[in-house]
Structure 1
Amino acid sequence: MELNVNLGKDSYRILIERGLLKRAAKEIREIYQGKKIAVISDDSVYAFYGESLLEQLKEYWECSAVILPHGEASKSIDVLPGVYAQLLEAGISRSDLIVALGGGVVGDLAGFAAATYLRGIPFVQIPTSLLAQVDSSVGGKVAVDLKEGKNLVGAFYQPKKVLIDPDVLKTLPERYIHDGMGEVIKYGCIKDAELFALLRRAGSFDGLADHLTEVITRCVDIKRQVVEEDQFDTGERMLLNFGHTLAHAVEQRFAYERESHGEAVAIGMYQITRISEELGLTREGTAGEIRKILESYGLPVSCGVHLSELKEAMKRDKKNFKNSLRLILLKEIGESIIYPSDLSFFEDERMV
């Protein structure tokens, strides 16, 4: 399956195909004829796929690897100087290429490094987690975390190509399959009631086995359309942040060490829908539908803290503008809206 992201000079192709990683070098040759490639990965993903990818690439290019510790802690502004130093040591110039091989942490950090190193060099995304395949590898949002919050330093920087191989998900730990399903369910909630129904019928990730490439493609196609409409996240693209205002606050509250991103998004989607339903903004029963599907895919719906504990982080949310929060709510499954509000939307004493 091939999708094209049409952004003028920043347009690129997304390929979604089982076994695609085995011919990654051939696909990269179509868009890059330079001399050197630096692969940025983490120790976990590299152990599975790094050497075989470098073996392919070395047929055509001089190659080096930057290997980070796995986990959210690597997506930190403090890690970047070390990455830049290794790129310099490898002699990577503005005419060379970075390949991001990994999940959302690697893709975000490698993309930000590409956007800022030597004022910008091209990069390719090869996402290896479900979350990265359906969401973070597409659209050009790249960022690192500060201790004060998630993704607070970033850029819009589109890749030259995205190569998605569903077969690599076979090596993912079960928790990170669940993690990715948080974002998959999000797409059904905000834009695709039929996708939501398919997920509900399947009932588990194993139940999706025969539909996995289709599900990934539907999620990516929704994101592609939204990004083409609103590349810089000023309107329609904000719908992709459903659940994220609470999610980022939950992640920061526990120093990125307890809930994964997809787990936090699951909590955020259910809890904000529960509130909006009580306020009469969402069709009755919607929160219950979301809770059932999240639980069937092994995702949490609560984190056991009061909203007052999360509000400081929400003040720094990127959607907080002039003390107004642009919240993403559902009218019903498959239909989402941008709802201007403020922190008073979240009652201090409510437990989430």
Structure 2
Amino acid sequence: MEKIFIGNNFLSKINQLFDFSRFSKLAILTDTNVAKHWLLPLKKSLKKKTSEIIIQPGEKEKNIKTVKNIWKKMFDFGLDRKSLLINLGGGVICDIGGFSASTFMRGIEFLNIPTTLLAQVDASIGGKTGIDFEEIKNGIGVFKNPIGTIIDVETLKTLPKREFVSAFGEIIKHGVISGREYFNFVTSKKPEEFNEDELVKIIKGSIKIKSAIVKQDPKESGLRKVLNFGHTIGHAVESLSWKTDSPLLHGE
């Protein structure tokens, strides 16, 4: 499994967590929403010349057209097999960034910095990368772990309430498949009532549950399918909602 760091103000300490000198070039993939808040602080912390690829936010961007644009930028910036792609954003960025890196020049390393609660407990962990194909969610993808995942709860301060609350759909699922103690804790309050320390505990709890399952079944040949609990119907409803004026978030 990759290195996972969970805490506060990690963006300002990123050079203490990883040695970036071994990479020929760095590029950051993010979206316009996240870039407004966290792109500049990250670039300042890296203290190394960094290219940036900024896409539009949302599930609608998780397609092969966007991937081709990302690949083109990576070639334009002169990235090679010794380069690193840093995915700064939510689940879409982690999914599409991981897929783009894993297929660029037969695969380069990538680092996940999830900025949404859902990505912190789910999409950034476990080595799944991918894009949607037509109306099939995550229909195309590969298994590849990032070199690490940096979870900075500070980034949740700029997250819209609806996205924050929707993440608890995935968190509660982890409680359902793992046992009563964690389930009781994550359902003991409304999502917005948990303080920062409790959020760190929740994130660590969900990652512990998911990581233990992924370690035993990294490519979803058996046990890992338990992590898809609720997805059979959930993904279908979510995909149908994309055709409406009120598309659903993943946890809804």
TM-score normalised by the chain length of structure 2: 0.95
Cα separation, 2, equivalents of 1:45 and 1:179: 18
**1:87 to 2:74 alignment:** yes
Q: Which residue of 2 aligns with 1:311?
A: none
**1:139 to 2:126 alignment:** yes
Which of 150, 159, 168 in structure 1 is aligned with 2:155? Answer: 168
Cα separation, 2, equivalents of 1:131 and 1:200: 16
Letter in 1 for 2:234: A
Deviation at 1:209, TM superposition (A): 4.1
Letter in 1 for 2:160: P
Aligned residues: 250
Q: Would the alpha carbon gap of residues 194 and 49 (structure 1) be closer, same or farther in structure 2, given more than 3 Å must change?
A: same
Deviation at 1:208, TM superposition (A): 4.7
Q: Would the alpha carbon gap of residues 210 and 202 (structure 1) be closer, same or farther in structure 2, given more than 3 Å must change?
A: farther
Which of 106, 109, 112 in structure 1 is aligned with 2:99? Answer: 112
Cα deviation 1:186-225 (Å, max 9, x = unaligned): 1001113111111222233323544110110010011111
**1:101 to 2:88 alignment:** yes
Deviation at 1:32, TM superposition (A): 5.6
Which of 190, 194, 197 in structure 1 is aligned with 2:181? Answer: 194
Letter in 1 for 2:220: D
Cα separation, 2, equivalents of 1:178 and 1:201: 14
Q: Is the 8 A contact 1:35 1:62 kept in 2?
A: no
Q: Which residue of 2 aligns with 1:41?
A: 30
Cα separation, 1, equivalents of 2:135 and 2:60: 13
Stretches of 4+ moved more than 4 A in 1?
none
Which of 42, 49, 56 in structure 2 is aligned with 1:53? Answer: 42
Q: Is the 8 A contact 1:40 1:98 kept in 2?
A: yes
Letter in 1 for 2:122: D
Q: Which residue of 2 aligns with 1:314?
A: none
Deviation at 1:52, TM superposition (A): 1.4
Q: Is the 8 A contact 1:138 1:162 kept in 2?
A: yes
Letter in 2 for 1:186: K
Deviation at 1:231, TM superposition (A): 0.3
Q: Is the 8 A contact 1:18 1:165 kept in 2?
A: yes
**1:156 to 2:146 alignment:** no
Map 1:239-254 onto structure 2 (within 5 A).
239-254=226-241
CA RMSD of aligned residues (A): 1.4
Cα separation, 2, equivalents of 1:32 and 1:21: 17
Deviation at 1:81, TM superposition (A): 0.9
Cα separation, 2, equivalents of 1:149 and 1:28: 36
Cα separation, 2, equivalents of 1:41 and 1:81: 15
Q: Is the 8 A contact 2:24 2:80 kept in 1?
A: no
Letter in 2 for 1:258: P
Q: Is the 8 A contact 1:202 1:208 kept in 2?
A: no
Q: Which residue of 2 aligns with 1:13?
A: 3
Cα separation, 2, equivalents of 1:214 and 1:56: 26
Q: Is the 8 A contact 1:13 1:160 kept in 2?
A: yes
Q: Is the 8 A contact 2:29 2:85 kept in 1?
A: yes
Q: Which residue of 2 aligns with 1:184?
A: 171
Corresponding residue SS for 2:87: strand
Cα separation, 1, equivalents of 2:78 and 2:18: 20
Q: Which residue of 2 aligns with 1:319?
A: none
| Identical counterparts, % of pairs | 36
Letter in 2 for 1:97: L
User: Is 247-256 or 84-93 further displaced after alignment?
Assistant: 247-256
Deviation at 1:152, TM superposition (A): 0.4
Q: Is the 8 A contact 1:199 1:208 kept in 2?
A: no
Cα separation, 1, equivalents of 2:108 and 2:10: 24
Cα separation, 2, equivalents of 1:219 and 1:14: 13
Q: Is the 8 A contact 2:112 2:146 kept in 1?
A: yes
Deviation at 1:56, TM superposition (A): 1.9
Cα separation, 2, equivalents of 1:32 and 1:220: 29
TM-score normalised by the chain length of structure 1: 0.69
Q: Is the 8 A contact 2:110 2:147 kept in 1?
A: yes
Q: Which residue of 1 aligns with 2:18?
A: 28
